[in-house]
Homo-oligomer: A and B are copies of this chain.
Amino acid sequence: MSKAKNTTEILKRLRACFSNVELVDQPIDGYIVPYQDHHQSEYLAPCDKRIEYVCGFTGSAGLAIVLKSKAAFWTDGRYHLQASSQLDKNWTVMKDGLPGVPKPEDWLPKALKGGNGKVGIDPFLFSKKQYEKFDKALTSEGHELVAIAKNLIDVVWKDQPPRPANKIIPLKFNYTGMKWEDKIKLIRSDLKKEKAKALVVTALDEIAWLFNLRGSDIDYNPVFFSYAVVGLTFVNLFLRDEQRSKEVRDHLNASSGIDVTLLPYSTEEFVKSLEGLKGPEKIWASLKESQGTHMLIDNAVTKDSPIQLPKAIKNQAEITGMRNAHIRDAVALCEYLLWLENEVPKGSVDEISGATYLDTLRSKQDDFVSLSFPTISSVGPNGAIIHYFPTEATKRSLTTEEIYLVDSGGQYLDGTTDVTRTVHFGDPTPFQKECYTRVLKGHINLACVVFPNRTKGHQLDVLARQALWKVGLDYLHGTGHGVGSFLNVHEGPQSVSSRATDDAPMEEGMIISDEPGYYEDGSFGIRIESLLVTVKASTENRYKNVQYLTFEPITLVPLMKKMIDVKLLTSDEIEWVNAYHSQCRDIIGKELEKQNKKDVLEWLNRETTPISV
């Protein structure tokens, strides 16, 4: 972990802005810096890492508040240690979740001395919901939240990196299965139902999906910086000049009668466009859209974006693409597991060199674009740290003594993958085998469930935990998330988590991850993760004429038989493992033959022989 960053000078310059009349209409007493860009992105481009700039913290969640004579930083349990080591004396680290630690919205009104305090924010970095939380907390104590037009971090950030503007590519119809013009028509029919004139879209994956375009402005997410406003009679897409290639313009120059107006990507242009829409007619902007957006809308429809559902419900072309991407991805992972089997006993592999080799294998597969998230490669106790990524300081060697957990995935032109396998190259202990087997039982129980159409994923979460709970074990994360189609590896609106009860109902074509785990602090971590696609189930009955659904695995990578305590499995579970392995052998085997990887094929055949009591 890096040494603390000296923030004295930065804070001095930021505080000087508080009373600079060229920046603020009236002097402010504080400024809030969230971990956020204009698009609610999960990963941030370097130019948007304002938290890192202002306080030195490099993790991916947090909130900084700078007052005239205090500065405080909140982050969750994953990052308490990291924050303490990365922040200097100018900062108080607020360990969110620990008893007695106030929430920022509770701390702030009290920390402002006297009454009538004014706290500045960049309204484009706060969702309407987040804004209202702070606004309510401040006004109820006689203070005020003030939207500042210029981002004050950007003002003081001398060497702020430029915003990436990488090449944008149109995605072919055989991958998308739906023309962008038809997607626009779909949105327009939704607009009509809501009697709204236009939809404001700022989530980058929604824009990429809508226009069948992909980029690489943000690591791991194949998206590009943009805004879009889809009206009943117009479509505005905001892009940097350098990204409006001939290819992009040709793609958007449809003969369908839908004209896309390309406008420059800048807050000013976006604001101007929204101001042009002002009037009594309704504008659709979900509550997740920024306060900046909502400040410009008089009469908003605040329902969730109508793009979420059609993006989550994959069409046939997308499902075929996802399946194909997973076949090639499985080849890379099988190759890696065989390589480890040979190399680990030699003592020549560590967490970083292993991950690097896996990334290389993946990159050699057809239509590979990038990783879908940084590879989690963790040995022994590092595997028990749920959001662990290996660094030079923490990396461990792979040995025949410890469990190895690898969670990785790729972006391919035809799909996105996310897979976790847990292996041991020596002799796992009986307890480790029991844990692995109970995690597997949960994985199978969720994968096999048959449920009525529109059941919510959170209702199914317990199925993956039941076998662990039986003996007092559990995992402190959700069981599953949605996955985009050559898009973000984490997407909504569905999920499988008891903590998220506002998830969208499951429908045919949705994809979720199935990833129960068990983490023994200081010792080992186990997780088994495959992606599942939701399909129609053919049930003997159909009560009240309801369609039933079930899942099919699209990740086809063998489980480690050595880790399974077969005695703990029911006969149905044994049958499931053997059927799954036979599917791996058939489908991945065929691809291995095609790619002429005979040693991997031999390994696959060995790893997928049936188990029995």
Which residues of chain B have C-beta atoms less than 8 A from A544's C-beta?
474, 476
A233 within 8 A of B: no
Least Cβ distance of A548 to chain B in Å?
5
Task: Specify which of B472, B476, B498, B543 is in contact with A456 (CB 8 Å cutoff).
Answer: B498
A459 within 8 A of B: yes
Q: Given A456-B498, A498-B456, A501-B501, check contact A539 B471 (CB 8 Å).
A: yes
Task: Specify which of B452, B474, B537 is in contact with A543 (CB 8 Å cutoff).
Answer: B474
Q: Given A462-B463, A466-B449, check contact A472 B570 (CB 8 Å).
A: no
Q: Given A469-B548, A471-B539, check contact A459 B456 (CB 8 Å).
A: no
Which residues of chain B have C-beta atoms less than 8 A from A539's C-beta?
470-472
Q: Given A456-B498, A476-B544, A544-B476, check contact A450 B470 (CB 8 Å).
A: yes
A483 to B462, CA, bound (A): 24
A473 within 8 A of B: yes
A546 within 8 A of B: yes
> Range of interface residues on chain A?
20 to 34
Are the CB atoms of A452 and B469 closer together than 8 Å? yes
Task: Specify which of B462, B472, B474, B537 is in contact with A462 (CB 8 Å cutoff).
Answer: B462
Least Cβ distance of A381 to chain B in Å?
16
Q: Given A450-B470, A469-B451, A474-B452, check contact A459 B543 (CB 8 Å).
A: no
A232 within 8 A of B: no
A460 within 8 A of B: yes
Least Cβ distance of A612 to chain B in Å?
17
Which residues of chain B have C-beta atoms less than 8 A from A9's C-beta?
none
Q: Given A470-B450, A570-B570, check contact A459 B546 (CB 8 Å).
A: no
Q: Which residues of A in the span 418-457 have a Cβ within 8 Å of any Cβ on B?
A: 449-452, 456
Which residues of chain B have C-beta atoms less than 8 A from A546's C-beta?
472, 474
A461 within 8 A of B: yes
Q: Given A498-B456, A570-B570, check contact A543 B472 (CB 8 Å).
A: yes
Which residues of chain B have C-beta atoms less than 8 A from A460's C-beta?
462
A546 to B449, CA, bound (A): 28
A540 within 8 A of B: yes
A140 within 8 A of B: no
A466 to B444, CA, bound (A): 14
A541 within 8 A of B: yes
Least Cβ distance of A551 to chain B in Å?
13
Task: Specify which of B463, B471, B537, B541 is in contact with A540 (CB 8 Å cutoff).
Answer: B471
Are the CB atoms of B463 and A466 closer together than 8 Å? yes
Which single residue of chain B is at the shortest CB-CB distance from A541?
Answer: B472
Which single residue of chain B is at the shortest CB-CB distance from A449?
Answer: B466
Which single residue of chain B is at the shortest CB-CB distance from A468?
Answer: B543
Task: Specify which of B469, B471, B474, B541 is in contact with A449 (CB 8 Å cutoff).
Answer: B469
Which single residue of chain B is at the shortest CB-CB distance from A462?
Answer: B459
Which residues of chain B have C-beta atoms less than 8 A from A469's C-beta?
449-452, 548
Which residues of chain B have C-beta atoms less than 8 A from A541's C-beta?
471-473
A387 within 8 A of B: no
Task: Specify which of B472, B476, B543, B570 is in contact with A548 (CB 8 Å cutoff).
Answer: B472
A606 within 8 A of B: no
Q: Which residues of A in the span 371-429 have a Cβ within 8 Å of any Cβ on B?
A: none
A542 within 8 A of B: yes
Which residues of chain B have C-beta atoms less than 8 A from A456's C-beta?
498
A460 to B501, CA, bound (A): 14
Which residues of chain B have C-beta atoms less than 8 A from A452's C-beta?
469, 474
Which residues of chain B have C-beta atoms less than 8 A from A471's C-beta?
450, 539-541
Which single residue of chain B is at the shortest CB-CB distance from A472?
Answer: B539
A472 to B452, CA, bound (A): 8
A544 to B477, CA, bound (A): 14
Which single residue of chain B is at the shortest CB-CB distance from A435?
Answer: B541
A449 to B452, CA, bound (A): 22
Question: What are some 25 contacts across the A-B interface (CB < 8 A)?
Answer: A449-B466, A449-B469, A452-B469, A452-B474, A458-B459, A459-B459, A459-B498, A460-B462, A462-B462, A462-B463, A463-B466, A469-B548, A471-B539, A471-B541, A472-B539, A472-B540, A472-B542, A472-B548, A473-B541, A474-B544, A474-B546, A476-B544, A501-B501, A518-B543, A570-B570
Extra A-B contacts (10), CB below 8 Å, given A463-B466, A470-B539, A474-B544: A450-B469, A450-B470, A450-B471, A451-B469, A459-B459, A459-B461, A471-B541, A472-B537, A472-B546, A474-B546
